[in-house]
């Protein structure tokens, strides 16, 4: 089965069809998805800003990352669930849209980066870590997660 065949199957699913035919399901799911975007953006930014030295200086980077973790995971689960539903309703559009592939690539890279490199840096002893390294990690994180958001908005506005 090719990817196009899979995307066609997704769009023809009962769930995808129900969302497309409903006047209110897509906007409701989209609103919840955007709420998740705000939550994940906050969870990511609070850690990245701390790594940049721009806030919450009374708390260690590790503590900020631990405190943000439940918000990151919860909003990520919310966004994956709602994003999957949105995808089912317009899978063929997604298949042919560059923005979808940008978003999925950015999401994959952001997740790998967040749960490997960034986690290692945030949990490291900050006295033994070069400050520049934390700033580089924060900037890469912001760029990757921005790619996810920009790709999503590009899908929505085209």
Model confidence pLDDT, tens digit, residues 81-104: 999 999 999 999 999 999 999 999
For the chain, the helix, strand and coil percentages under 3-state DSSP, each to the nearest 5? 85, 0, 15
Model confidence pLDDT, tens digit, residues 99-141: 999 999 999 999 999 999 999 999 887 777 777 888 999 999 9
In terms of phi and psi (left: phi > 0; alpha: psi -120 to 50; beta: otherwise), the region of 130 is beta
Q: pTM of the entire structure?
A: 0.88
């Amino acid at each position: 089965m090719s990817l196009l065949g899979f995307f066609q199957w997704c769009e023809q699913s009962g769930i995808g069809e129900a969302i497309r035919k409903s006047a209110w399901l897509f906007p409701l799911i989209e609103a919840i998805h955007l709420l998740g975007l705000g939550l994940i953006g906050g969870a990511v930014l609070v850690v990245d800003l701390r790594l940049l030295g721009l806030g919450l200086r009374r708390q260690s980077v590790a503590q900020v990352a631990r405190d943000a973790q439940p918000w990151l995971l919860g909003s990520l689960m919310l966004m994956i669930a709602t994003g999957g539903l949105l995808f089912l309703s317009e899978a063929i559009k997604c298949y042919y849209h560059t923005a979808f592939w940008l978003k999925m690539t950015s999401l994959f890279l952001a997740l790998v980066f967040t749960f490997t490199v960034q986690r290692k840096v945030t949990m490291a002893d900050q006295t033994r870590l070069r400050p520049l390294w934390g700033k580089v990690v924060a900037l890469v994180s912001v760029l990757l997660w921005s790619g996810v958001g920009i790709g999503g908005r590009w899908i929505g506005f085209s």
